[in-house]
Structures are given as structure tokens and as C-alpha cells.
Amino acid sequence: MLEDTAVNGAAARMRNGVKIYGEGTATVRALDGISAEFASGRFTAIMGPSGSGKSTLLHTLAGLDNLTEGTVHIGDTELGSLKDRELTILRREKVGFIFQAYNLIPTLNAEENITLPLSIAGNEPDEAWFNEVVTAVGLEDRLDHRPAELSGGEQQRVAAARALVTRPDIVFADEPSGNLDSKAEAELLAFMRRAVDEFSQTIVMVTHDPIAASYADRIVFLDDGDTVDEMVDPTVDSILEKMKHLGE
């Protein structure tokens, strides 16, 4: 059992999570009885080889997909019992997302994209908080631009700002820097780090990039649908070292 919640309590946790895709002989056990907790106010990275189940873990934690067996909690809410509408509303109020690509709606400008979860819910953005987030990602001058007019790095920072604007309990990021050059990657990850340090945000990020993972407070390593190891306060070197040994 991986425990990291002594100080802050768990923002999200999974108990005995099993996820099976397909039927008959073609079944794939993407998650194999995994249990994990993600502490509030911490930046956690999930790493593992292709097919280790890290994306499935993220999707099921975030309520985008449901488990075959086991339970998932976001805060105090158990997701398995929720209907589609309740899940949708939970996502919009308590969860933020940053994806690798297709993160923005092309017909909306940067500001509209950032406030999208609020406006879908019919809520007004908190002006001060919106300004703080926008300033933090450095997009004050780009708010009326459409995604097509923004660089890849700017687009991902818009996505990051959107994930934070609802003050979610937890932000899930799926390879957020996967399509970015190294400078843009550094800017995005620095922002995510600051979101945790300055705004006490909780972030769970799936990545296969040791540099990205080195921004996290803690890394959970996955293989064959279960946790195999973890590391606190990682550096690029220690991660590379660990990955070498995991492969053995």
C-alpha cells in the first residue's frame, strides 16, 4: 500500500481497481487489482512502460471510464454509483484536465476556452482568480486569440489555465508536454509546479518523460496494471536509474 496522505488527506484514491477490456480470449487486464492514493496539494507523476495501464488508471480515476471491479473516490464521492449526468457535473466542478493534444475548442478564443467549464455550468468566472491564473501562465496578451493563432506551448498553457480556473479538487494531466519542444515543456511544467506550490493544487500526471516526471513530488511506477514502486522528490538522474532497474 502506497501512503502519502498522512499530512493532507487523499484528493483521489482507488481500491482494488480492476479494468478488463474486451471479451473471451481477447481480454486485456489493463488494471489488475491496483490500490493507490493521491494526496491533496501534491504533484504526483505516474510512470510506466507502454501498456502498463497508466492511462487507464488516469481515465478511471477521473471518471472518464469505469472500473470492472473496485472503487474510486474523488474526495468523499464514490464514482461507481454515479449516473452519467452526475459524473459529468463532478468532472466539471471537481476535476481539471490537460490532454496531450486536441485540448482546445477551435471555434473559441483563449479566454472562452479557459472559462469553458464555468460557462458550460452556467457560472461566472471569479475575476480575481481568473486574472491570477492567466497571469501565472503568462497569457494576458493572448486572450482574444483563437487556438489556431497560438503556438503549441501557448495552447497547452491555455489548457492548463482551463484546468485550474474552476479551482478543482484535482487536475489530471495526460502527457501534457508530449507534443511540446523543450522550452515550451519547461514553461508548462514550471507553471504546473507553481500551481501546486503557490495555489495548493493537486495534480496527477501520466508521463513517460523523466524530465517531466522530475517536476513531481512523488512518482508512482506501474507495470502490468499494478503499482510496482514509488519515489519521493525525484530527480532526472534518480528516475533514469530507477527505470533501468525496473526493466530488469
Partner 1 sequence: MLRAALRGVIANKVRLVLTALAIVIGVAFVAASFIFTDTINARFETLITDISAGVDVYVRPIPPETGNDLVEFGSIPDEILAQVQAVPGVRVAEGAVAGYAQFVGADGDPVGGLGPPTLGFSWQTADELRAMTIAPDNGRAPTGPGEVVSDVATAERAEFGLGDTVTILTLGPPEQFEVVGLANFGSEDNLAGATTAAFELEEARRLFDLEGSYIEISVAAQEGVDAETLATDIDAATGGEFDVKTTEAANADQLSEIGEALGFLNTALLAFAAVAVFVGAFIIANTFRIIVAQRTRELALLRAIGATGGQVTRLVVIEALVVAVIASSIGVLAGIALALLLAALMNAIGFNLPEGPLTIAPRTVIIAMTVGVVVTVVAALLPARKAAKIPPVAAMHEELARTGRKPLRRRAAAGAVVSAGGVGLLLFGLFGSVANPLLLVGIGALVTFLGISILAPLAARPVASTLGWPLPLLFNTTGLLAKENTARQPRRTASTASALMIGVALVVFVAIFAASIKSTIKESIFDNFRADLNASSTNFQIGISPTFAEELAALDEFDTVSSLVFDTASLEEGGTDIIVVDPLLAEEVVNLDPSPGAFAALASADGVVVSSAELEDNGWVVGDTIVMGFPKEPETQMEILGSFGNDDFGQYILNRDFYNTVYDNPFDSLVLATVAPGVDISEARVAADTIAEPYANVQIQNKDELVADLEAQIDTLLQLIFALLFLAIIIAILGITNTLALSIIERTREIGLLRAVGMTRRQTRRMVRWEGVIIALFGAVMGTGIGLFLGWAVVLALADEGLGSFTIPWGQIAVLVVASGVAGVVASIYPAWTASRMNVLDAIAYE
In the complex, least distance from residue 231 CB atom to partner 1, rounded to whole angstroms = 26
Q: Which is nearer to partner 1, 8 or 88 (CB)?
A: 88
In the complex, least distance from residue 116 CB atom to partner 1, rounded to whole angstroms = 6
Interacting residue ranges for partner 1, rule: CB under 8 A: 59, 64-65, 84-85, 88-89, 91-93, 97, 99-108, 112, 116-117, 119-122, 162, 174
Q: Which three cell numbers stand for residue 151?
A: 503556438
Q: Which is nearer to partner 1, 97 or 218 (CB)?
A: 97
Contact indicator for 225, 51 with CB cutoff of 8 Å:
no
Q: Which is nearer to partner 1, 102 or 190 (CB)?
A: 102
Q: Which is nearer to partner 1, 60 or 202 (CB)?
A: 60
Q: Which is nearer to partner 1, 99 or 199 (CB)?
A: 99
In the complex, least distance from residue 238 CB atom to partner 1, rounded to whole angstroms = 29
Q: Which is nearer to partner 1, 38 or 97 (CB)?
A: 97
In the complex, least distance from residue 118 CB atom to partner 1, rounded to whole angstroms = 9
Q: Which three cell numbers stand for residue 185?
A: 515543456
Instruction: Round to whole Å and give the CA distance between 171 and 164.
Output: 8
In the complex, least distance from residue 121 CB atom to partner 1, rounded to whole angstroms = 6
Q: Which is nearer to partner 1, 5 or 88 (CB)?
A: 88
DSSP E strand boundaries for the chain: 10-21, 28-39, 43-47, 69-74, 77-78, 95-98, 170-174, 203-206, 218-223, 226-232
Sequence length of the chain is 248
Instruction: Round to whole Å and give the CA distance between 186 and 183.
Output: 5
Q: Mapping DSSP to helix (H, G, I), strand (E, B) and coil, where does residue 145 land?
A: coil
Instruction: Round to whole Å and give the CA distance between 47 and 53.
Output: 10
In the complex, least distance from residue 163 CB atom to partner 1, rounded to whole angstroms = 9
Instruction: Round to whole Å and give the CA distance between 104 and 109.
Output: 9
Q: Mapping DSSP to helix (H, G, I), strand (E, B) and coil, where does residue 151 land?
A: coil
Q: Which of 180, 4, 5 is nearest to 98 (CA)?
A: 180
Instruction: Round to whole Å and give the CA distance between 36 and 38.
Output: 7
What is the distance of C-alpha 22 from the center of its chain? 26
In the complex, least distance from residue 165 CB atom to partner 1, rounded to whole angstroms = 10
